[in-house]
Amino acid sequence: GAVVSQHPSRVICKSGTSVKIECRSLDFQATTMFWYRQFPKQSLMLMATSNEGSKATYEQGVEKDKFLINHASLTLSTLTVTSAHPEDSSFYICSAATSYEQYFGPGTRLTVT
Amino acid sequence: GQNIDQPTEMTATEGAIVQINCTYQTSGFNGLFWYQQHAGEAPTFLSYNVLDGLEEKGRFSSFLSRSKGYSYLLLKELQMKDSASYLCAVRPSGGGADGLTFGKGTHLIIQP
């Protein structure tokens, strides 16, 4: 149990375009989902906390208008990187939380050319 | 503020034991996690400590001292597949509703 999926696993896009990443909890309902970003040889950095049916809470330094988060149901959260730039190239990882645990998705490798 | 420190890189020999240390200073504490991460993959859960003491789980053990802001991950009978990054992460407060603060990870290299 406690499986989290992400789609796509890998995406390459051109600078200026938008990319949507989906995060799904497959066998449990998650009231809270988190989005993390990891640059090469760096640790995971929390970007935002997403609660079902409400606006996401963004960490300091993360632009909410650039990284749009929608948490439409208890099993799905989406992250849209708008007007992507090469510096947005990173590994984006979501996690879905129950009362006590966080379960990580397999990650999405975004490359912006 | 949040600060989590762990060594950048460690090297150990197959079959041996290695201890990876983690110190933290965070505003609030409600649990410390250890994750294993292979290159290009998402982290996988190894252990969770919220009370002082040692938690043992097969070849992996994790220790916590809240008064010292200190934890370690102990890996026994090292195997080549244990070569990975090991991430120490703290949950500042609450239950699952808080995001984790991660250290930069310790890259563990296992030599034959």
pLDDT in tens, A46-100: 999 998 888 899 999 999 999 999 988 889 999 999 999 999 999 999 999 877 6
* Amino acid occupying residue A106: P
What's the confidence (pLDDT) of residue B13? 97
Q: What is the pLDDT of residues A98-113, one digit of tens each?
A: 776 788 999 999 999 9
Strands (E), A1-113: 4-7, 10-13, 19-25, 32-38, 45-51, 57-58, 67-73, 76-81, 90-97, 102-104, 108-112
Contact residues on chain B for A98, CB-CB shorter than 8 A = 96
What's the confidence (pLDDT) of residue B99? 85
What's the confidence (pLDDT) of residue B95? 56
What's the confidence (pLDDT) of residue B70? 97
What's the confidence (pLDDT) of residue B88? 96
Contact residues on chain B for A99, CB-CB shorter than 8 A = 95-96
Q: What is the pLDDT of residues B51-94, one digit of tens each?
A: 999 999 899 999 999 999 999 999 999 999 999 999 999 988 76
- Minimum Cα–Cα distance from B48: chain A residue: A101
Neighbours of A73 (CB within 10 A): 13
DSSP class of B99: P
The tokens of B18 are what? 């290695």
Q: How confident is the model at residue A33 (pLDDT cuts 50, 70, 90)?
A: very high
